[in-house]
Structure formats: C-alpha cells, structure tokens
Chains A and B, each alone.
Chain A
Amino acid sequence: KQEVTQIPAALSVPEGENLVLNCSFTDSAIYNLQWFRQDPGKGLTSLLLIQSSQREQTSGRLNASLDKSSGRSTLYIAASQPGDSATYLCAVLELNNQGGKLIFGQGTELSVKP
C-alpha cells in the first residue's frame, strides 16, 4: 500500500530565505507526482507536475525534483515571500486499468515572516 510522507509538518522562515520541502513515497510504481498549494479553507492549486520519467520541473521560483528509485521528491522555493505562506501537499498518481487516484501526504504548513 502506497504511503506518502512529508517532512517537516510545519516550517517558519524569514522572508527571503531559500527553503526545501521534502516528500517521500513507499512504492516507486507511480505514474507522476504533483505538488500542490492550499490556502486555508480553499481548494488545491497545482504548482508542478513531474512525470515518472522526468527528474525535475521548474516554474518561476519553484523547482521540484523526483528520484523514483529512492522514493523521494523535493520542492525548492527560492527567495521566499510572505505570499508563499500556505500548506504544500505532494501527491503521487497511481494508475492501473481501473483508473487513477492521487495519494497525498499530510502536507507541510509554511509560514514566511516579513
């Protein structure tokens, strides 16, 4: 059974710092991995999608890496800003002939202090 773990559960940093969020998964048979952002009481906003054959994806100040063999992904945020404060979730997509489902980690709650 696939399990996704995110460390740390919470993180507080001063504005301008670079930071790394970690995600690990137990079964390497994933189709892809997505990083999401969730603001309090809101839905999920997709940040980056990495296919299982890829090693990394970049969007602006965000960079996500994927190492399937070790079951790890990281989300790097450069030059953090107070507007980056949110909960960050990683999810792996399991796909079979019955369809697909995302399996989520518990999230990292990020607070960026001005």
Chain B
Amino acid sequence: KAGVTQTPRYLIKTRGQQVTLSCSPISGHRSVSWYQQTPGQGLQFLFEYFSETQRNKGNFPGRFSGRQFSNSRSEMNVSTLELGDSALYLCASRGSARETQYFGPGTRLLVL
C-alpha cells in the first residue's frame, strides 16, 4: 500500500502571499489531519477532515483553512502569509480511531 504523500515538498513564499498544500492519504483512509511543526511550538494540530467534513479544528487563525475531496485527498490553504507561518506542515491519515495515524513526509514552507 502506498503511504501518505504530500506535495509540494518545499515551498518558498513571501509575506502576504497565499499557499495551497496537498495531501493524498493511504488508500481506504477517510480521516485526514493536518499538523504544523515549528522549533518553538513543536507539533500542533490544525484540523481534521472526515468524509469531506471538517470535524475538529485547532487553535489557529482563520487564515488557515482546508478541504477534503470525495476521494479523501485533502488540501490546506494559508492566506496572507506571515513570517511565523514558516514551518513543516504534516498530514496524517488513519482508518478507524483505534488505528495508527500514518504521517506523510511533510511540506516545508519558508516565508520570506
């Protein structure tokens, strides 16, 4: 089974721009979650999607949004980028709640 894939792997943007990140979950997994990892804050939960519905949202501003498509692929969008948005963005998928969450390799975003 192919693992979780994320594109692009690296991105450089300037302040004020917007960015869209993509995540393809493991085949059959309907739950997709997004996390932000920074040296200062560690790993923080952004949101979770299940069957195209956002089920849970972390404590991030409205500039961070996402969606999930009928094939379970998910996108995350960050508008009006700030320097502090520079981070590794990780996507994870799982089957049921009892199962392991599998993470993708991440997208490293640098905001200049």
Q: How many residues on the A side are at the interface (Cβ–Cβ under 8 A)? A: 26
Measured CB to CB, the closest approach of chain A to B77, in angstroms, equals: 19
**Which chain A residues lie closer than 8 Å to B48 at the CB level?**
99-101
**Which chain B residues lie closer than 8 Å to A103 at the CB level?**
45
Q: Which of A36, A49, A95, A100 has the most CB of B within 10 A?
A: A100
Contact of B55 among A43, A44, A99 (CB under 8 A): A99
Contact with A along B39-79 (1 / 0, CB 8 A): 00011110010100001101000000000000000000000
Q: Contact at B104–A100, with CB atoms within 8 Å?
A: no
- In the docked arrangement, what's the CA distance between A91 and B45, Å? 11
B95 within 8 A of A: no
B65-112: which residues lie under 8 A (CB-CB) from chain A?
88, 90, 92, 97-106, 108
The B contact surface, by secondary structure, is strand
Q: Contact at B103–A49, with CB atoms within 8 Å?
A: no
| CB within 8 Å for A102 and B90 given contacts A95-B97, A107-B42 | no
Q: Contact at B98–A32, with CB atoms within 8 Å?
A: yes
Measured CB to CB, the closest approach of chain A to B85, in angstroms, equals: 18
Chain B residues at the A interface, C-beta cutoff of 8 Å: 4, 31, 33, 35, 42-45, 48, 50, 55-56, 58, 88, 90, 92, 97-106, 108
Chain A residues at the B interface, C-beta cutoff of 8 Å: 31-32, 34, 36, 41-46, 49, 51, 89, 91, 93, 95, 98-107
Identify the 6 closest CB pairs spanning chains A and B, nearest first. A99-B55, A99-B56, A104-B43, A44-B103, A101-B45, A43-B105
